[in-house]
Amino acid sequence: MAEQEHSLPYSGKSGNRVGYRRGKKYFERKKPKSYQPPAESLKSANEFGVASKASVLLRNAFKDVLLSPFKSDLHNRLSKRFGEILRSGPVVKKGKRKVFDGDPDILKGFEFNKDRHFDGLTLVRLDVVIHDDEVWIHLPPFKWDLTISAPPQAERLRLEVSYSWIDFSDASYFTSKAPPIFLNRAESFNGGKLKIVIRQESEWFLVVMTTICFDYNSSGPLSVIGNKRYQAGRIAEVLHFSDGKVVQHQKNTLESKEEPKSSPDPDIFWEEL
């Protein structure tokens, strides 16, 4: 910065100089050089934005089933996972890769509660298979004493399965929730099956989420135990469909089971086995 010595002081740009007034005096300085980020930085920044938007979309899709402990640092953790999905896509498309270019299996197993994983509360696992124009979700039989790690005051288990068809191209989604499974202590669940009709148009991720929490009686109606150590949620399965056909990104593809074909049913409910 130096005081202007021109006969006609000026304010504004002049060549590679910038003039300005401070008080009753005029000064000038060199115009700063413009900064052009490297091409690789621009590509990474673009994909960071795509991952962030995908995180927001998935959170919105499951907003009605997110328990309070799930929301801690959720956006950043999901964005990081979606960033990994983008980086699994074709290298030649770096900077222009979309979520659909990557491997959806990377999202599978994501824990919504960073302080308590699903495995820490239950050993129950979903079995997901593709059968004709449906996705079947099997929940195996289980007993409280053998598969559940519950707090002492818990009187009832609450297990929920939700799913959402998410289109990351136009930020649309369709979410459904199966009736929750309530199980009192000393009870057993006989197993069940959930049928989801595959959407036949456009491109989608089918994301299946499971949550578990516990109820107790505090001299009134049963209510959820709010301690974050006893609430967990996990993405149990992610499948990529395009025009009704599964897109093979995963190393281990799902096999259809040879069972009698059933008519598609838009309702979501558990069929007892």
pLDDT at 268: 52
**Residue 3 and residue 27 in contact, taking contact as beta carbons nearer than 8 Å:** yes
pLDDT at 226: 78
Residue 30 lies in a domain: no
pTM for the whole structure: 0.77
Residue 61 lies in a domain: no
Q: Please state, in angstroms and rounded to a whole number, the distance separating the CA atoms of residues 165 and 163.
A: 7
pLDDT at 248: 86
Residue 85 lies in a domain: no
Residue 217 lies in a domain: yes
Instruction: Tell me the CATH number at 182.
Output: 2.70.50
Residue 135 lies in a domain: yes
pLDDT at 126: 92
pLDDT at 252: 35
Which of these, 69, 65, 232, 223, lies nearest to 154 by C-alpha position? 223
Output phi, psi for 141, to 5 deg. -60, 145
Residue 178 lies in a domain: yes
Residue 73 lies in a domain: no
pLDDT in tens, 109-120: 999 999 999 999
Burial class of residue 245 in the structure, from the number of CB atoms within 10 Å of its CB (0-12 exposed, 13-18 middle, 19+ buried): exposed
Spell out, as residue ranges, where the chain has pLDDT lower than 70. Answer: 1-8, 10-16, 18, 20-21, 24, 26-27, 30-38, 218-222, 250-273
Residue 226 lies in a domain: yes
Domain that holds residue 231: 104-272
How are beta strands 181-184 and 172-177 bridged, if at all?
Answer: unpaired
pLDDT at 225: 83
pLDDT at 258: 47
How many domains does the chain divide into? 1
DSSP codes joined into one string, the chain: -EE---SS---EEETTEEEEEETTEEEEEEPPPP----HHHHHHHHHHHHHHHHHHHHHHHTGGG--GGGGTTHHHHHHHHHHHHHHTS-GGGTTT--GGGS-GGGTTT-BS-TTS-GGGTB----EEEEETTEEEEEE--EEHHHHB---TT--EEEEEEEEEEEETTTTEEEEEEPPPEEEETT-EE--EEEEEEPP-SSEEEEEEEEEEEEEEESSSSEEE---GGG-EEEEEEEEEEETTEE---SSS-------------SS--PEE-
pLDDT at 145: 82
**Residue 208 and residue 237 in contact, taking contact as beta carbons nearer than 8 Å:** yes
pLDDT at 147: 85
Share of the chain above pLDDT 90, in %: 54
